[in-house]
């Protein structure tokens, strides 16, 4: 939890705390009914007279903003990986379906137009994967990874929405039903452009890195 212990200091008053679930005064509120990533619960946390001991401060008092930014920067690599994974899964289902679904007496995978679309999607997924790997490599090496992480998240989140949407198109009407998992991947992909910083935040981070 991030809270401002000194509002007059602005962001310099923000402090990070570890709130344990058995602390008196903490209640879990309603579970949000979300569009996607429904396997990951998002709930309201209600703090009413919750007292937190000093030992539960993460880092230093007043340094929470730095903790938050560092967490976001690292998290962008993970979000990029998440988007690559779900887009790759959607593509794998599309490839399997294209080999089985027949039109005009042959699998639709034999039609050149569809082959080109699959090839473009595979290239998009692989490009996003390499951006994510590069950002992770730089982080592990202790080098500056701020802009590469933003690039990885920006591209992978956009790619995931595009690829999962195209996979639904490939399935036709079946893709719009819950009989096949591609609709879930499509819903799950939207969050990639929102959390750990929106698309515009990534663009701003990249631009600042380029312009100094």
Catalytic residue IDs: 196
- H helix intervals, the chain: 64-100, 112-140, 146-171, 182-189, 199-211
Residue partners of 89: CB distance under 8 A and separation at least 6:
181, 185
Contact indicator for 197, 72 with CB cutoff of 8 Å: yes
Say whether 24 sits in a helix, a strand or coil: coil
Two tokens, residue 36: 């996607």
Strand 14-17 and strand 57-58: pairing?
antiparallel
Q: How far apart are CA 10 and CA 4, in angstroms?
A: 8
Structure-token match 């090496």, residue found: 141
Q: How far apart are CA 132 and CA 137, in angstroms?
A: 9
């Amino acid at each position: 939890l991030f809270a401002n212990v000194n509002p007059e200091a602005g962001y310099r008053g923000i402090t990070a705390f570890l709130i344990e679930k058995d602390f008196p005064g903490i209640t879990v509120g309603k579970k949000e009914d979300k569009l996607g990533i429904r396997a990951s619960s998002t709930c309201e946390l209600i703090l009413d007279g919750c007292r937190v001991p000093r030992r539960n401060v993460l880092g230093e008092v007043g340094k929470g903003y730095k903790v938050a930014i560092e967490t976001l920067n690292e998290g962008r690599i993970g979000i990029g990986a998440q988007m690559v994974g779900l887009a790759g899964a959607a593509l794998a289902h599309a490839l399997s379906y294209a080999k089985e679904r027949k039109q005009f007496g042959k699998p639709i995978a034999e039609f050149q137009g569809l082959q080109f679309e699959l090839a473009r999607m595979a290239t998009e997924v692989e490009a996003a994967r390499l951006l994510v790997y590069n950002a992770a490599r730089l982080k592990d090496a202790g080098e500056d990874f701020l802009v590469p992480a933003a690039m990885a998240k920006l591209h992978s989140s956009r790619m995931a929405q595009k690829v999962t949407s195209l996979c639904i198109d490939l399935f036709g009407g079946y893709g719009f039903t819950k009989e096949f998992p591609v609709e879930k991947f499509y819903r799950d992909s939207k969050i990639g452009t929102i959390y750990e910083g929106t698309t515009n935040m990534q663009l701003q981070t990249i631009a600042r890195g380029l312009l100094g």
